[in-house]
Chain A
């Protein structure tokens, strides 16, 4: 392309921006400021909030949302939703507990079967979306209902009850518990192993998004799928992989359920899918796709966990719990929005 060099304004995409301005342009920054504001707020409002034990409880609560928020945020950046994510966690946990108990298998074998089943569910979600071209909102709503029904129906048919039998005394429980549901002492503070899994996933997802070609594909399919296809991005494969990413996170969360609580209630998980989406949105993911970050979703999960538990630490009247929860989330997201607008205007 030969552009006349004369009188052409410099391309704004190539303009040098100061490091500060670049930092302010990151999707997660607003959420981070919201998190800091909430942290300061609860530190002042609740005496028990600043104790180290309390902090590890907040981190644990955040991690149980955050692990799922990683997969869900990548999928949202790729322009799709997964409403079946909440019950898929329960499905994954039930598959492990039921197959291992009924066939008297080592729990690690149960976990492996569950991984295969859960990834297959992710594949199914992805294939259905890509092949039918229906909105993922509808497709995964259907799989959400089907999984919720399967969870109950199969559990009841197999065990005769609505919860799986306890797997606490089976082979592999202790070693799997160490991996998926143990407490670690890190410098005098107990940290749940889920927190490590969470951080690991966030790091991996961030690397994937920012440093690899697949990361570019994710942004591209979410931002403009048709243009992405035109320039040779494998749109279908990328989307299917993203659904399978959510499934992997669901498996990890499901393993935590099995090995932390030993029995799994088949009706659990309904409604959690929205909390995962909320975490991603607070963290700066756009509902329309093409924009967001895994770190942002992690900060979103942290805000959610902190608010959730901060209200308990502050010992406010529990009748108002959900009101406070909503108000805190509103504050966090408004701070997020204000920061981003200001950055956009000044750049």
Chain B
């Protein structure tokens, strides 16, 4: 009895499914409206980055990529692993899926070399974003979208100088990250004053706060702080307030809370590398290449930053930051 009921249920469900499937229209209707023909043939593009989980920056990159994907009729796939070897495996998985294009970050170029050669062998075009501007062409990428970390650092150093700092801290939230070191080195070049590095554990906010506080207590002469990620800037402001230090805070990257703090004057400037552009540009580049054979940048990296945000232009960006795309 019981089995009979189950079997009957299964039969009804199966019949319903078959009917539903058979009832689908292959052309026209709402579905055609949702995937506009202007995008050209449906493409599948995979992005593989070295991001850790839950990073605001990579969230914005993905939003840019998804916006371009929606416009270009692209199926967008995202995966990430901070470990170079595992990132290479994810790229291999994308090759195995026979995607139409691959977007990679080259934070660890040597780890990616072999797998990118296999992508070339499979005739899958590759675009690199974010880090790896110098290695991009040699590894066979058709274009690179990113910010030169040294140039961005130089811009930040110039801003620090402009707000009148003489002795500043460069707060590195991930030890051994080449890009972060380059930012500090670039800033040191244009800053003119003394710029010291300070390491903090980026995954532990109370630790970040107490380390910056400790440094400000150890050296009362510090009058500027440069953080390399948006969440750390707000924490640096807390430390400045609790120690009664006169240090002025500037930072890399943006988020909506940061815009509010720039408007209120608690944070002096932000150096934005416009992550949205990196995702958007890379997907669009692959689409352009497929549909019209275009290549952006003329064989050189396309710079997406630095864009400087200060009190003067913060208000104009507020709406964009609130929806999480700046």
Contacts and interface: CB of A to CB of B under 8 A. Distances in A.
Nearest to A267: B54
Contacts of B54: 151-152, 155, 162, 265-268
Interface residues of A, number: 48
Interface string A260-274: 111101111111100
Given A269-B203, A272-B203, A309-B211, A161 B217 contact: no
B53 A148 contact: yes
A183 interface: yes
Main SS class of interface, B: helix
Interface in A132-168: 148-149, 151-152, 155-156, 160-163, 166
A53 interface: yes
A61 B53 contact: no
A198 to B, nearest CB: 12
A175 interface: no
Interface string B211-235: 1011101110000000000010011
B313 interface: no
B78 to A, nearest CB: 12
Interface in B189-246: 196-199, 201, 203-207, 209-211, 213-215, 217-219, 231, 234-235, 238, 242-243
B214 A309 contact: yes
A69 to B, nearest CB: 14
A51 interface: yes
B274 interface: no
A116 to B, nearest CB: 24
B147 interface: no
A102 interface: no
A48 interface: yes
Nearest to B54: A267
Interface stretch (A25-33, A123-131, A315-323): A315-323
Nearest to B181: A319
Given A53-B217, A161-B324, A313-B218, A261 B56 contact: no
Interface in A279-322: 305, 308-309, 312-313, 315, 318-319, 321-322
B52 interface: yes
A325 B99 CA distance: 46
Contact of B53 (A152, A256, A321): A152
Query: Which 3 A-B pairs rank lowest in CB-CB distance, beginning with the nearest?
Result: A267-B54, A61-B210, A64-B206
Interface of A: 46-48, 51, 53-54, 57-58, 60-61, 64, 148-149, 151-152, 155-156, 160-163, 166, 183, 190, 256-257, 260-263, 265-272, 305, 308-309, 312-313, 315, 318-319, 321-322
Interface of B: 52-56, 59, 172, 175, 196-199, 201, 203-207, 209-211, 213-215, 217-219, 231, 234-235, 238, 242-243, 255, 257, 323-324
5 contacts: A53-B243, A54-B218, A161-B56, A271-B203, A312-B198
